[in-house]
């Protein structure tokens, strides 16, 4: 079966780990989607965290997803918080949510090196997050 030429959901980011078969997509509706890079079959979809996923990074059996979520802080007032989710992807078919981090600062980009994630936060600069 050939890989599909398109993905019909709202994918906004994709990463393929070096030497890896699964690819990981940031989907604004479905959270983090794990797919087989050879045939496009969806292996898993992680929606266990209440946020719109905008970007992600994958390394060392860890996926770090960043995005935002909105909530009603009081009647008629909607607030937005920025979030980061850390997933254990040692088994790509069954990703597990390890932890989440909420922030008043927007995460604009993310990368992983070793046991740390580095998040670009615009005028605030860089946040370093321990993901071990």
16-47 residue pLDDT tens = 666 667 888 887 777 788 887 777 777 877 76
From residue 112, give the alpha-carbon distance in Å to each of 18, 43, 71. Answer: 13, 23, 29
CB 106 within 8 A of CB 80: no
Instruction: Give residue 18's pLDDT.
Output: 60
pTM above 0.85, yes or no: no
15, pLDDT greater than 70: no
- Reported as a pLDDT band with limits 50, 70 and 90, residue 50 is low
Q: Tens digit of pLDDT for each residue in 86-131?
A: 999 998 888 888 998 888 888 899 999 999 999 999 888 999 999 9
CB 45 within 8 A of CB 31: yes
Instruction: Give residue 93's pLDDT.
Output: 85
Coil, strand, or helix at residue 55?
strand
């Amino acid at each position: 079966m050939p890989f599909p030429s398109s993905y019909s959901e709202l994918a906004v980011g994709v990463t393929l780990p070096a030497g890896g078969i699964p690819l990981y997509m940031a989907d604004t509706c479905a959270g983090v989607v794990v797919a087989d890079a050879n045939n496009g079959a969806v292996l898993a979809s992680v929606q266990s965290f209440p946020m719109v996923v905008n970007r992600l990074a994958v390394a060392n059996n860890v996926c770090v997803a960043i995005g935002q979520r909105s909530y009603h802080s009081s009647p008629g007032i909607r607030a937005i918080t920025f979030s980061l989710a850390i997933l254990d992807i040692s088994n790509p078919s069954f990703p597990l949510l390890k932890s989440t981090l909420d922030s008043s600062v927007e995460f604009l980009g993310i990368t992983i090196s070793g046991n740390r994630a580095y998040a670009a936060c615009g005028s605030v600069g860089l946040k370093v997050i321990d993901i071990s």
